[in-house]
Amino acid sequence: MKTLSQPTLLILSLSLLFLTLHFPPTQAKFAGLGIHRPNSPKQARQLAASAAHDDESGDFVTFYYNQTLDHFNYKPESYTTFRQRYIVNVKHWGGADTNAPILVYFGPEDRIDYAWTDIGFLTENAPHFKALLLYIEHRYYGESVPFGSWEKASRNATSLGYLNSAQAIADYAAIILHVKQTYSAKNSPVIVVGGSYGGMLASWFRLKYPHVAIGALASSAPILYFDGVAPGDGYYSVVTKDFKEDSKSCYETIRRSWVEIERVASKPDGLSLLGKKFKTCRPLRRTFDLKDYLDSMYAEAAQYNEPPEYPVSIVCRAIDGAPDGDVLGQILAGVVAYKGDSSCYDVYDSSPPTASDSAWKWQTCSELVFRIGHDSDTMFPPEPFNINSFTKNCESRFGILPQPHWVTTFYGGHDLKLALRRFASNIIFSNGMRDPYSSGGVLKDISDSIIALSTVNGSHSLDILTSRPSDPDWLIKQRKTELEIIGRWLSKYYTDLVQLK
Ligand SMILES: *[C@@H]1O[C@H](CO)[C@@H](O)[C@H](O)[C@H]1NC(C)=O
Ligand SMILES: *[C@@H]1O[C@H](CO)[C@@H](O)[C@H](O)[C@H]1NC(C)=O
Ligand SMILES: *[C@@H]1O[C@H](CO)[C@@H](O)[C@H](O)[C@H]1NC(C)=O
């Protein structure tokens, strides 16, 4: 897979899915679930990882599986198939004779071209576990699109209707069983791994397919962010907390800036003054657009607030370092520090939404209804999630109504501990508490084997990403603990295998 070693910005660009693109003017967007943020330092990681794992040897081999379009009924059209991409690496595998394990990465709402360089949890631990590595791309993303093309697959709600999490994990089950059969690995234990939405899928997979996977590592998986299980203001409360804890004065400046933006805008020619002040590439049409741009920047900095750079600190050092008394000048300094020095700033993101953006939009408009808004007591202007305008928008865009209660009906979520503690086992829910999505994560142990592993200063899905020499001790320790826990699951499995077979 020589071609895959060419670094591109593709995977990086999906980190945040800005819903404003499709929403009425006053509806706030929120950060998407992707495990990457678009710019450095993740980009640096990407390049380094790419070089480190440059696959000269061809150890990562791509296959395509004829996947069933619809797993859940037997109408003739359900039997239609599409090509679903998966990647296998057997280099370190101990083999079928020893029932050596299989580590499976669940592709999230993105193509998987770079999963094998990004997801260090698999590559770095393959020798330790003597594991076969398997990466599976999610249906409707990347190359794994039904109906022959994205244009056809995305034509309308009828063709998009097969895009949902239940179909996706059924795909994963089919491919895992197919790979086990191919390698005669019937008794090889499977551990599924995912980050963000992929982490949600990993934890749900363990609950629905215990006969296929013996355990799951669900990194930064906000499975409780549905149907009112976690409070709706969680996301922006954590963003606010991150900034406040980094610097009280920075937080105060941001908090004050929204009113200041409105004050300047209300002057004669105010929008043009504001546009000049913030060096916008195109004239500002309304204050909302600038506020939304800043909102996304703060959210992104918080979600991907990773060491050693800590983007929140980068923004706050600049805000605190600029001359006092000029609030907007301070905010601009934060923009310059975060986005880099530039002749202008693209408040109106000129790149069109990608296929993955649109596919994710369908998923959040149908099944995965994240109620994320600015409720109260955040550093943002109050703007609670509005289910009515959200619903109207999804209806006009896709002709369907969101089903906000389905996730908890199908997978659970309410009273999770009560439901799972005697029923389920072998799931790690890892979180970084600086990640705004941790507010929808499982943060307390449910049982001896359903374990919450949080780090105070961690960000989104950091633990499963490729390690770096600068990684702090707490991150190294989190990864090591995950390894030990999975090692225990495996030895118990092998004991059972001897006793029961
Ligand atoms: C998958 O489907 C294609 C087209 O129907 C067929 O040519 C191919 O042989 C199938 N592959 C497998 C592995 O069944
Ligand atoms: C979607 O498009 C197909 C093909 O054009 C058509 O047959 C079908 O009726 C459409 N469905 C809806 C809900 O518009
Ligand atoms: C988290 O970061 C803060 C400063 O940013 C530091 O004071 C604290 O010791 C860190 N906590 C841990 C557990 O590393």
Three state DSSP letters for 413-448: ECEHHHHHCCCCCCEEEEEECCCHHHHHCCCCCCCC
Supply the pLDDT for residue 376.
79
CA distances from 399 to 241, 358, 359, 405 (A): 38, 15, 15, 19
Q: Which residues are catalytic?
A: 196, 435, 460
Looking at the whole model, is its pTM more than 0.75? yes
Is the beta carbon of 456 within 6 A of some atom in ligand 3? Answer: yes
Supply the pLDDT for residue 55.
65
Q: What is the dihedral of CA 243, 245, 248, 250, to 10 degrees?
A: -30
pLDDT level of residue 32 (50, 70, 90 thresholds): low
Closest-CA residue, ligand 3 atom 2, reads: 457
Q: Tell me the pLDDT tens digit for each residue of 156-193.
A: 999 999 999 999 999 999 999 999 999 999 999 999 99
Q: What is the mean pLDDT of residues 198-211?
A: 98
Closest-CA residue, ligand 2 atom 2, reads: 156
Ligand nearest to the CA of 434: 3
Question: How far is ligand 1, taken at its centre, from the CA of residue 432, in Å?
Answer: 43
Q: Could you tell me which residues come within 8 angstroms of residue 459 by beta carbon, excluding any fewer than 6 positions away?
A: 302, 303, 304, 305, 306, 432, 434, 435
Q: Tell me the pLDDT tens digit for each residue of 454-483.
A: 999 999 999 999 999 999 999 999 999 999
Q: Which of 242, 456, 471, 473 to mutate to test the pocket of ligand 3 (most atoms within 8 A of CB)?
A: 456
Question: How far is ligand 3, taken at its centre, from the CA of residue 247, in Å?
Answer: 13
Using DSSP's 3-state secondary structure scheme, residue 10 falls into coil
Supply the pLDDT for residue 273.
97
Q: Tell me the pLDDT tens digit for each residue of 14-31.
A: 233 332 222 333 334 445
**Among 215, 183, 194, residue whose Cα is nearest residue 138:** 194
The C-alpha atoms of residue 455 and residue 441 are separated, in whole angstroms, by 13
Q: What is the dihedral of CA 377, 381, 384, 389, to 10 degrees?
A: 180
Contacts by 345-348 with C-beta closer than 8 Å and gap 24+?
A: 345/278, 345/279, 345/280, 345/281, 345/293, 346/280, 346/281, 346/282, 347/278, 347/280, 347/281, 347/282, 347/284, 347/289, 347/290, 347/293, 348/280, 348/281, 348/282, 348/289
Supply the pLDDT for residue 45.
46
Strands (E), 330-475: 427-432, 450-455
Supply the pLDDT for residue 232.
76
Q: What is the mean pLDDT of residues 99-128?
A: 96
Count of all residues that appear for the chain in the document: 501
CA angle 383, 312, 344 (to 5 degrees): 80
Supply the pLDDT for residue 7.
26
Closest-CA residue, ligand 2 atom 13, reads: 158
pLDDT level of residue 56 (50, 70, 90 thresholds): low
Answer for the pair 133, 112: CB distance below 8 angstroms, yes or no. no
Is the beta carbon of 313 within 6 A of some atom in ligand 3? Answer: no
